[in-house]
C-alpha cells in the first residue's frame, strides 16, 4: 500500500503531523512556565495574606480573654461560596488559638518556622509576631492549585484544537496548488501509449519539472523514430518476400499448364497448394510484424464508413463468396476516428475473411456500422463457449474448422485495434439468435 500513496498525501500527512507536534510541544512548554508562574503568584498571595493577617489577629486575640479553646472566626460570605485560603493562629506550643471559618481546629502539619512548607494537602506559609509569641499560618489547597493548572493548560490547548483543522485545510490547499503542475505533467505522461506518442506541450512548469518534460519529449521523439524505422523495414520486407513467392507460384502454374502426365501434374498441384498456403501465411506474418511495429499509431484520422466500403468492394471484386456480404451503414456523415486507415483496413479484412471462411456455407455475413462508428461483423456458426472465445484470441489458435487459415487473424486485429484505443469484442451466440459468431469493433466514446 505504501507504493500507492501520492506525493501530495505524504506531504499533507507529514506537514500536518509536524505542525501538530510543534503546537503540542509549545503547549507543554507553556504549561511548564505557567506552572512556575502560578506557583510564584500563589506563594506571593500566601505570604501577603499572612503578613496582613498578623496585626489583625494580634488585635483580635487581645480582645478575647478566654483562649483555652480554639476560637473560630465566623464566615462573612454565603455558605455555598468556596474558600480558597484558610488560616490558623498558634502559640509557641503549637496550640491553635484562632482559625478561619473553613479551617479545622486541628493544627496544620507545618512547623512553627517562618517561611513556606509543602504538605500533602497544600502549601503553607508561616509568619511570626515581632515578639515571637504567636504564629499565623495561611494555607491554600493543593487541589485548588492543580485545578488552576489544569484550567490554564486547557486554555492553552483549546486554540490548538481549533488551529489544527485550519492548518490541515491550509496545508491541503497549498500543497494541491503547489503540486498542480506535477499533476498536470503526470496526467500528460499517463496519456502516452502506443496510440499517442506526440510530444507534450511545454506548459507553465516549475524549473524542477522542465528537465523531466524535456527528457520525456526526447524519449517520445526516439520512440517515433524507432517505430517509423520498423514500419519502413517491415514494408520493404513485405515487398521483398512477396515477389519471389509470387514468382515461384507463377512458375508452378505455368508448369501445370504444360504437364500432361497425371503423377507429375498431381505433384505440381501439391506444390501450387503449398505455395498458396505459404503466400497466405507470409501475408499474415507480415501483417503481424507490421502490427508489432505499431502501424496503427497515427496522429491522423480516418472515416470508418469509407474504409468499410473500400474493404467490402475489394472482397466483392476478388472473392467468390462476395454475394454473402450484406453491408449496412447507419451514419449519414463522416465518423472520424484517430489512427491509420490502412491499419484499420487490415483489421476489417481479417475479420471479414474469417467470417467468410469459417461461417456456415451459404449463410450471409452481416456488416453493420453504427452511428458511433462501431463495426459489427456477424456470421452463422455453431455456438461457442466462453473458453473457446478466449482461446480464439491466442496466436496460431484455431477453432474446430477444416477451413484454411493460420490462426493469426484475430490476434492481428486485436493488436492493431489496441494501438487505435479500440477493443475487439467477441460474442457467441449473436445477440437475438441461438447461435452464430459476432466480432464487434468498439471505439472509445468521444467527448
Q: What is the CATH number of the domain that holds 11?
A: 3.30.450
Residues 252 and 104 in one domain: no
Q: What is the 3-state secondary structure (H, E, C) of 18-58?
A: HHHHHHHHHHHHHHHHHHHHHHHHHHHHHHHHHHHHHHHHH
Pair (124, 101) in one structural domain: yes
- Supply the CATH number for residue 213's domain: 1.10.287
Does 179 fall in a domain?
no
pLDDT score at 376: 92
Q: Do 309 and 277 sit in the same domain of this protein? A: no
52 within domain boundaries: yes
Instruction: Provide the 8-state DSSP code for 103.
Output: S
Residues 9 and 118 in one domain: yes
Give a yes or no: residue 357 inside a domain: yes
State residue 446's pLDDT score: 67
pLDDT tens digits in sequence order for the chain, 447 residues long: 344 467 777 888 888 888 888 888 888 888 888 888 888 888 888 888 888 888 887 777 766 655 555 655 555 554 545 567 888 888 888 888 877 776 677 888 888 888 888 888 888 888 888 888 888 888 887 778 788 888 888 887 887 778 778 888 888 888 888 888 888 888 787 777 655 677 787 767 777 778 888 888 888 888 878 777 776 776 666 666 767 777 777 888 777 777 777 777 778 788 877 877 777 777 777 776 667 666 666 767 888 888 999 988 888 887 777 778 888 888 777 788 888 888 888 888 888 888 888 888 888 899 999 888 889 999 988 888 888 777 777 765 665 665 566 667 787 888 888 888 888 888 888 888 888 899 999 888 765
Q: Is residue 359 part of a domain?
A: yes
Cis ω for the linkage preceding 446 (within 30 of 0):
no
Same domain, 61 and 192: no
Say if residue 357 is in the same domain as residue 283. Answer: no
Do both 7 and 90 map to the same domain? yes
Give the pTM.
Answer: 0.49
Give the integer Cα–Cα distance in Å for 85 and 103: 9
Contact 310, 255 (CB under 8 A): no
- Asked if the structure places residue 447 within a domain, the reply is no
Number of structural domains found in the chain: 3
Domain endpoint, select from 166, 193, 226: 166
Domain check: are 36 and 144 in the same one?
yes
The verdict on 157 and 221 lying in the same domain is: no
Last residue of a domain, one of 294, 317, 339: 294
In a domain, 175, yes or no: no
**Bridge pairing between strands 71-72 and 85-91:** unpaired
Nearest CA-CA partner of 357 in 314, 319, 403, 426: 403
Which among 126, 132, 130, 122 is positioned nearest to 102, based on CA atoms? 122
**Domain range enclosing 399:** 301-442
In a domain, 67, yes or no: yes
Instruction: Check whether residue 315 and residue 406 sit in a common domain.
Output: yes
Tell me, what's the pLDDT at 80? 46
Same domain, 140 and 161: yes
Beta strand 423-427 pairing with 437-442: antiparallel
Domain assignment present for residue 195? The answer is yes
The DSSP secondary structure of 349-414, one letter per residue, reads: HHHHHHHHHHSPTTS-EEEEE-TTS-EEEEE------HHHHHHHTSTT---S--S---S-HHHHHH
Residues 6+ apart with CB under 8 A from 323: none
Domain boundary among 132, 166, 200: 166
Q: In whole angstroms, what is the distance from residue 155 CA to residue 306 CA?
A: 78
Nearest C-alpha neighbor of 438 from the set 426, 446, 422, 447: 426
Whether 93 and 215 share a structural domain:
no
Domain harbouring 421, CATH code: 3.30.565.10
Q: Is the separation of the CB atoms in 167 and 19 below 8 Å?
A: yes
Q: What is the pLDDT of residue 5?
A: 65
Amino acid at each position: 500500500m505504501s507504493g500507492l500513496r501520492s506525493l501530495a498525501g505524504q506531504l499533507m500527512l507529514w506537514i500536518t503531523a509536524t505542525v501538530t507536534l510543534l503546537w503540542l510541544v509549545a503547549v507543554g512548554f507553556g504549561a511548564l512556565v505557567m506552572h512556575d508562574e502560578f506557583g510564584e503568584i500563589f506563594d506571593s498571595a500566601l505570604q501577603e495574606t499572612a503578613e496582613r493577617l498578623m496585626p489583625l489577629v494580634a488585635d483580635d486575640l487581645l480582645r478575647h480573654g478566654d483562649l483555652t479553646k480554639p476560637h473560630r472566626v465566623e464566615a462573612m460570605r454565603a455558605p455555598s461560596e468556596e474558600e480558597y485560603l484558610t488560616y490558623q493562629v498558634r502559640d509557641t506550643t503549637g496550640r491553635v488559638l484562632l482559625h478561619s471559618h473553613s479551617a479545622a481546629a486541628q493544627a496544620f502539619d507545618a512547623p512553627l518556622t517562618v517561611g513556606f512548607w509543602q504538605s500533602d494537602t497544600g502549601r503553607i506559609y508561616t509568619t511570626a509576631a515581632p515578639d515571637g509569641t504567636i504564629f499565623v499560618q495561611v494555607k491554600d489547597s493543593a487541589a485548588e492549585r492543580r485545578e488552576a493548572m489544569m484550567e490554564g493548560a486547557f486554555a492553552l490547548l483549546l486554540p490548538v484544537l481549533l488551529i489544527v483543522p485550519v492548518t490541515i485545510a491550509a496545508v491541503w490547499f497549498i500543497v494541491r496548488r503547489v503540486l498542480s503542475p506535477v499533476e498536470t505533467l503526470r496526467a500528460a505522461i499517463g496519456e502516452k501509449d502506443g496510440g499517442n506518442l506526440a510530444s507534450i506541450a511545454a506548459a507553465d512548469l516549475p524549473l524542477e519539472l522542465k528537465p523531466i518534460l524535456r527528457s520525456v519529449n526526447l524519449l517520445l521523439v526516439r520512440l517515433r523514430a524507432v517505430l517509423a524505422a520498423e514500419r519502413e523495414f517491415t514494408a520493404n520486407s513485405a515487398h521483398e518476400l512477396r515477389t519471389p513467392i509470387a514468382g515461384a507460384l507463377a512458375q508452378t502454374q505455368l508448369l501445370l499448364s504444360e504437364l500432361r502426365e497425371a503423377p507429375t501434374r498431381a505433384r505440381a498441384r501439391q506444390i501450387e497448394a503449398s505455395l498458396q498456403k505459404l503466400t497466405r501465411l507470409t501475408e499474415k506474418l507480415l501483417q503481424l510484424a507490421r502490427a508489432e511495429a505499431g502501424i496503427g499509431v497515427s496522429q491522423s484520422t480516418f472515416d470508418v464508413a469509407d474504409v468499410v466500403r473500400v474493404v467490402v468492394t475489394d472482397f466483392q471484386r476478388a472473392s467468390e463468396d462476395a454475394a454473402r456480404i450484406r453491408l449496412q451503414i447507419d451514419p449519414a456523415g463522416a465518423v472520424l476516428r484517430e489512427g491509420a486507415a490502412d491499419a484499420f483496413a487490415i483489421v476489417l479484412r481479417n475479420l471479414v475473411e474469417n467470417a467468410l471462411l469459417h461461417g456456415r456455407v451459404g449463410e450471409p455475413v452481416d456488416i453493420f456500422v453504427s452511428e458511433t462508428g462501431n463495426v459489427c461483423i456477424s456470421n452463422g456458426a455453431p455456438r461457442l463457449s466462453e473458453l473457446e472465445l478466449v482461446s480464439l484470441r491466442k496466436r496460431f489458435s484455431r477453432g474446430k474448422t477444416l477451413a484454411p487459415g493460420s490462426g493469426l487473424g484475430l490476434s492481428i486485429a486485436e493488436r492493431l485495434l489496441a494501438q487505435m484505443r479500440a477493443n475487439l469484442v467477441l460474442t457467441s451466440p449473436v445477440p437475438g439468435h441461438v447461435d452464430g459468431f459476432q466480432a464487434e469493433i468498439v471505439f472509445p466514446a468521444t467527448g
